[in-house]
Structure 1
């Protein structure tokens, strides 16, 4: 039979697929001899079975019973034993960290009898026992019984008034337990379950169910975590941080997850359980204060942090509890960090001899690099500072203050920039956190829910701004000095300093962008770290990186950003503005003379364009796509002309235009007269462009033009254009590769034939995606993509990341058949997928020679190309 349960002594950190990240790391810490409470893990396999079949797998309950018996034997007491109870926690733990998105239930095993036994265990501490019991009913009620958590919070708030939770005495907490049991009875029609084993069984199933909770689904989509992984469940003997002031709980990082600087970072809360820290409901104290409160535990914790960082060779995130002076480790994982911290930490670990530069490149991502390229606040601008909190996640965010997740989503969908302002966030706020430009809370520290989730998403966040009185019901907050900010008023938050400003603060380019622009040598430690990693990535990558650029300015910027050529120069973009009339004249021409006049007017303009681009690129390849406009973009509007004609205001020219436009009008321009079809239908159009390219190349030493024929679906189309282009280039004495853009599914499926006439392929993945899926990007992204994402039909938009199974399969076919017909065929990609990290890895895997993307995405593509090569090398050595 399948094995579904593993004791902490049986696993290790390499079993994350099976035991989840939390279970694998608890096992690893147990193996290292660290103080971990005993327990066991129910595997993700059991969760997948439960979610698929709607029931627990055969044999699971017997396995759990066996491991529970072993745990009871180790602890010397039984689960829920009336006079001396064993209590356990039931906690989720997926392969990838999903902070706060799934469920946890503490203090399983308490009931009306065992609560007295717990008080006896605690030396007669009745207050501790009743506090633990009310926490169980509250967490169990919300998590397992699906009762609105505000009902419990409201009862607690009414009882304590303006006091802290810790000010409630044993009698008041016992009264609260009865109130909570009444809420359960009223909401479910049944009593709170008193059987400890039934509590544990229901809690396990609730954790499994939480894998498909809306907030978990939303988080997975945001972080691109596969939906079919499921979660493991960890059952651990309880240790208590809420015994009194000699106990507590905390979260620690082996270095600062915000900046990457080495030091002691974390939060501690006396007389509390772990959920109190991450929920941010009570403001914590800095971890350094633990040295004064409990020197022995503090020294032991620092030693364990050093052990874990050296063992994992990375920043570690640690949860711990101190129970009456005894330190216990509840969790460790490789910690989430900001983009700046990721680059700094990677190079620091190289300098410490813990990792190699190859590993450093794999420790950072293109998405993190993109975050570092976001603007920052102008230090010299006039600002009105109204508060300061903790710098939880860096960045510069400006937007309208909103006080609920729902309002944040609503305004963001209307195109507004918003800052989500809360006392503290909880997992139910995830949709609003995603929609907002930044997050501001008045409670919580650097390890609160808001801080951890914001860092993971790369969102600007300021936490624990205690000076602010946040009044969500009134949709406003009050800052020192009587400053009031109501919903809709603009504020600015600086995640680097923790400052909060009234109004809009101007932003300036980031230091990383200035570095890529070549404005200065690397100065600060962050830019130096980026420089080291980028240089190494460039040294190991196989894929070339080119730019999509249509003007000399764009071309020059692309070169500064590290482009090794232009992979897509869209000539139709050169015909906008004042030149649009010339293209209109060409398309509507009815005689050879009219057509030639329009071509003669366009040719010198095109030549000048190409000279500027060749000069900017200074001897590297420039792939020029011949004109590929949806024809309607260059024609007068049919409706406007029709109205004008109907009102008798039209001139003779207008009527001729109307006749021509009607003749050329298309119901679906995306699939109409464009690309190679336009070049074949309008004599001289492509020839004019090729002449301009050849003449420009002849005048610019070292120019390396590559001529790309768009929208080819049959080799005969390409042959017709190629024949004329070859003659023009020969007459000019210019050498140029001639190839095509693969953007029609038929072209991919007949790539072997097309390669006989093409010296290169460039995959136009925007159109290839539209045609493979059968929908127009402009029409469908705002209409039904959101629903498709909700239903799981898309994990991510196919226009954002290559659809490997469909569009990717077409590319694989074209690569294989094209190279079989022409072994020296050059292969690239020029759709915007060329700057998407996952798509860059796909391009490396299928053997393309280069990717091409917009200038500002070039550094991302360079880094990801290096990471793809290193991932390939790692798989080769396995």
Structure 2
């Protein structure tokens, strides 16, 4: 039967509300209900504690409450512990050994021996004096300044019994001198005063301010726990400890913890004496001479293992224990949530679901999607020493060690020699892509979360730190200088930690990725639960293979420009760009056509009938041109032109603001032969694959950077003409879809018009964010950290979707687009496609899929599953 104000711990037959009984009280009641060895006790509700604060405990310690205390046993010692609704809200310190008096000391001596009884008495006087009466703890410490404060059972050389008796008398005298009254000799009076003190302490000004700083509401209450003492001091194997029974790194079975003989409470963790280890194996590994708990009390360890299984099933999570042994008898004082790294969290959640302790849905919701990074990439061992020489933005997760190199060509050469290279640049450009493919990691001094280096590195699964402003790049001296002034010359070994945004000297130990076992199980459950598709941004066949391995639902963005930077294509691409006439451009494009077609054939074959969305050429053409005089000379020789003519033509193509200049669909309108070549490559590749495969390809062609309906109409007409020509030439029937990349505010605003000529919209939120904010995504990294730290932006809008501004444009475009075209498919292919918060928004907005870099696909799959589960719960 449940009393509205207080309840016996073992009487709780249903789960208790932590808001009323406190988190620890509710947990202990559940443990008692599971049959675990919890000392008998009583819970005092938050309501009653509040009344006690107003009226005094003595008013309420009459009648049934007194009877329930008496039911705990005759002449037992008690503990009093705080039980706030949330542990982080704090609370008064526990008071142990309540009930010791001069009259009770002989009975306690018979139970634990005279030395133990005297120690327990001293502890009570000290704890009671400081908590209830507010005495200075140092006064009690001074009494034992020349002695061992926390005694052990006497052995040769220990504090003599007479000295122990003297310390107790000194403590009683100190108490009387400071309070003006003798130490109370009535157990009930001790408990009443202690309860009053805890109620008073919880409602004090300092305590209220402290807990409110941790998120507690002003009216938060405190429950109390009164329990029989498990003494931990006395005959036989007695003591206190903490134990965990899962490995915090892997989540597998393991035993860790500490045990301190002849101890109480948190003594084992306070460092006052050297604690002993739990298992013999751990003791031998630590070369500790003192026996382990396993050797002292093997049955206790066996019981702890069994109780952990019971607690996991009953509490729905992996727990360790605070425990006490009294003459070999095991008592559990609390269940402690087992600490866990990201990998361990996945193993624990899936194990709990398999054992029926929680549902699969609960297991999925317990894992923070971003923490899956630790499964997907090598990481620095958390136990390794970190010699940090610089920090920046964590642009692409994972860690890698290599030798410093300052050019993509050198990175390629080092890879050929089997030597890992860290490519260090001020910032990267498209011509660095080959070097990035060869490097093991990338470090840039400038750049933001959507800069070129960041986007490409995430696609490659390459650790990357950008915007490392405290690292100075000295290209003349061929070295980098860390924030502490240390110089690291070309060839020096450094480590890039893209997960934490740090650059380290040397080569710390690593932990390798883990994509099987519990991780694979969790991903399969996520795929069963999610309703929104997850595609990958994949630009090459290599990217597509990685994406396929991560079980994506297709390719949501293939950036065709990256295909042109291969060594055997860049010259033809440059010849096309520098051509003086459409005829000359077509000649150069004819060279590129079979190369691009072969890429698409391989891409379609890898994806085996899954959707492949191909974005037509987007970046401004000057990005493909050489920068150095030497490279321009090579190009002039290849084209049989004067160097001066190549230089002048390159200058003529440069723009003041190229990201808002002649790029995207504007290339397709002014140089239609470019998009015509790409369309032909796509359709010819689809024809080749469809005639040899049962799984038919339906290519999706995406027009970038549109802002006017007329642009869509013109490109659509030219693409259709190419498709008709290829079908006639090859005598095949092809199906394809045409859509746009919504990345300008005007495209979002005029979405209704554009939807009439589109099968899909794919929102390019990198550029859409850039244009909505008027921020350069490449330069914002220089000040974005200051903006976030000062609260101007809650988060970097290039990292997590701006729901209020950019999100409103997405909702507007989706609504207007589907109002004109009910079958319009909606996707998001910006970097936000791998951000869990942004994915949840897309689910609520009715999007069909998100697309992200391949190595973020598992994160997106889990986030999509969680979005589905949470939307159903709403």
Rate the CA distance shift 1:306–1:620 in 2: closer, same or farther, 3 A.
closer
CA distance in 1, matches of 2:667, 2:629: 23
State whether structure 2 residue 742 is matched by structure 1 residue 753: no
CA-CA distance at 1:121 after TM superposition: 10
The residue number in structure 2 matching 1:776 is 776
Rate the CA distance shift 1:351–1:632 in 2: closer, same or farther, 3 A.
same
Instruction: Please give the TM-score of this superposition, normalised by the length of structure 1.
Output: 0.63
Q: State the superposition RMSD in angstroms.
A: 5.8
CA distance in 1, matches of 2:859, 2:216: 26
- Map 1:406-485 onto structure 2 (within 5 A): none
- Map 1:51-200 onto structure 2 (within 5 A): 62=54, 73=66, 88-90=80-82, 94=86, 103=90, 105-107=92-94, 125=117, 127-128=119-120
Q: What SS class does the counterpart of residue 106 from structure 1 fall into?
A: coil
Q: What SS class does the counterpart of residue 613 from structure 1 fall into?
A: helix
Rate the CA distance shift 1:31–1:163 in 2: closer, same or farther, 3 A.
closer
The residue number in structure 1 matching 2:447 is none
Kept in 1, the 8 Å contact 2:95–2:127? The answer is: no
The residue number in structure 2 matching 1:656 is 648
Q: What SS class does the counterpart of residue 545 from structure 2 fall into?
A: helix
The residue number in structure 1 matching 2:726 is 732
Kept in 2, the 8 Å contact 1:244–1:270? The answer is: no
CA distance in 2, matches of 1:161, 1:622: 77
CA distance in 1, matches of 2:605, 2:315: 50
Rate the CA distance shift 1:753–1:108 in 2: closer, same or farther, 3 A.
farther
The residue number in structure 2 matching 1:250 is 241
State whether structure 2 residue 358 is matched by structure 1 residue 371: no
- Map 1:485-564 onto structure 2 (within 5 A): 504=507, 510=513, 512-513=514-515, 527-564=516-553
State whether structure 2 residue 670 is matched by structure 1 residue 684: no
Deviation digits for residues 189-217 of structure 1, max 9, x if unmatched?
xxxxx99856754556555544576xx7x
Rate the CA distance shift 1:261–1:691 in 2: closer, same or farther, 3 A.
closer
- Map 1:613-762 onto structure 2 (within 5 A): 613-629=603-619, 633-634=623-624, 652-653=644-645, 656-657=648-649, 660-661=652-653, 664-666=655-657, 669-701=658-690, 702-733=696-727, 734-762=734-762
CA-CA distance at 1:626 after TM superposition: 1.5
The residue number in structure 1 matching 2:851 is 852
CA-CA distance at 1:118 after TM superposition: 11
The residue number in structure 1 matching 2:436 is none
Structure 2: where are the runs of 5+ without partners? Answer: 153-157, 175-192, 281-291, 402-487, 496-504, 632-641, 691-695, 728-733
Kept in 2, the 8 Å contact 1:714–1:747? The answer is: yes
CA distance in 1, matches of 2:602, 2:857: 21
The residue number in structure 2 matching 1:521 is none
Q: What SS class does the counterpart of residue 851 from structure 1 fall into?
A: strand
CA distance in 1, matches of 2:804, 2:334: 37
CA-CA distance at 1:330 after TM superposition: 4.2
Kept in 1, the 8 Å contact 2:833–2:860? The answer is: yes
Rate the CA distance shift 1:812–1:122 in 2: closer, same or farther, 3 A.
farther
Instruction: Please give the TM-score of this superposition, normalised by the length of structure 2.
Output: 0.63
CA distance in 2, matches of 1:638, 1:60: 82
CA distance in 2, matches of 1:593, 1:122: 105
Kept in 2, the 8 Å contact 1:21–1:333? The answer is: no
CA-CA distance at 1:105 after TM superposition: 4.2
State whether structure 2 residue 328 is matched by structure 1 residue 337: no
CA-CA distance at 1:824 after TM superposition: 1.6
CA distance in 2, matches of 1:42, 1:665: 67
CA distance in 2, matches of 1:771, 1:252: 55
State whether structure 2 residue 289 is matched by structure 1 residue 319: no
Q: How many residues align?
A: 692
Kept in 1, the 8 Å contact 2:322–2:336? The answer is: no
CA-CA distance at 1:583 after TM superposition: 5.3
The residue number in structure 2 matching 1:219 is none
CA-CA distance at 1:760 after TM superposition: 0.7
Q: What SS class does the counterpart of residue 620 from structure 1 fall into?
A: coil
State whether structure 2 residue 557 is matched by structure 1 residue 568: yes
Kept in 1, the 8 Å contact 2:589–2:674? The answer is: yes
CA-CA distance at 1:366 after TM superposition: 3.9
CA distance in 1, matches of 2:102, 2:623: 79
Kept in 2, the 8 Å contact 1:72–1:86? The answer is: no
Rate the CA distance shift 1:271–1:844 in 2: closer, same or farther, 3 A.
farther
CA distance in 1, matches of 2:58, 2:579: 86
CA distance in 1, matches of 2:240, 2:208: 26
The residue number in structure 2 matching 1:465 is none
Kept in 2, the 8 Å contact 1:90–1:108? The answer is: no
Query: Which residue, 312, 316, 319 being the options, matches 1:309?
Result: 312
CA-CA distance at 1:351 after TM superposition: 5.2
Kept in 1, the 8 Å contact 2:8–2:68? The answer is: no
Rate the CA distance shift 1:599–1:367 in 2: closer, same or farther, 3 A.
same
Kept in 2, the 8 Å contact 1:764–1:831? The answer is: yes
Q: What SS class does the counterpart of residue 308 from structure 1 fall into?
A: helix
The residue number in structure 2 matching 1:820 is 819
Deviation digits for residues 600-629 of structure 1, max 9, x if unmatched?
454444333323322322322210112222
Kept in 2, the 8 Å contact 1:412–1:418? The answer is: no
CA-CA distance at 1:590 after TM superposition: 5.6
CA distance in 1, matches of 2:33, 2:225: 16
